[in-house]
Amino acid sequence: MDNLWTPAHQAVESGDHGELTRLLDAGADPEEVCCGLTLLLHAIDAEGDGALQSGGPLDSALTAILLAYGADPTATPDGETPRELAASYNHEMAIRLLDRHIARRC
């Protein structure tokens, strides 16, 4: 089966912080949408789901990288906001990051 993810989405899916940063720094669009997800929504989902599946702690590195490269913390291609998705995972670190970036935009 073919991989449907773009290189940036694959980096998010793999949790490859270094590759995601390299791609964004080389000009990848932080607003890129693939399979109905922005990179930011995908990052929050990967962080939340990864912690659930592994039983490990949540981290927000992917979310922080994307916000640092200008991802819109309010973009909703599928109707769910990044903050709503983060709340569904009780991903408090991502919620705090999103709130800080939203407050800066106002």
Q: What is the CATH number of the domain that holds 74?
A: 1.25.40.20
pTM of the model: 0.93
Q: Which of 87, 72, 65, 92 is nearest to 32 (CA)?
A: 72
Q: Is the dihedral of CA 80, 83, 84, 90 positive or negative?
A: positive
Query: Between 14 and 105, whose confidence is greater?
Result: 14
**pLDDT class of 4 with cuts at 50, 70, 90:** confident
For 44, how many CA atoms within 13 A lie in the half-sphere containing its CB? 28
Residue 24 lies in a domain: yes
Question: Would 19 be classed as within a structural domain?
Answer: yes
Mean pLDDT for the stretch of residues 84-99: 95
- What is the mean pLDDT of the segment spanning 70-92? 92
Q: Is residue 51 part of a domain?
A: yes
How many domains in the chain? Answer: 1
**Nearest residue to 6 (alpha-carbon basis) of 42, 26, 34:** 34
Choose among 65, 52, 69: nearest CA to 94.
65
Flag whether pLDDT at 1 surpasses 60: no
Torsion sign, CA atoms 21, 25, 29, 35 = negative
Specify if 34 maps to a domain. yes
In a 13 Å sphere around the CA of 105, the CA atoms on its Cβ side amount to 13
**Model confidence pLDDT, tens digit, residues 19-64:** 999 999 999 999 999 989 999 999 999 999 988 898 888 999 999 9
- The parent domain of residue 101 ranges over 7-105
Site of tokens 């909703």? 76
Domain assignment present for residue 1? The answer is no
44 in any annotated domain = yes
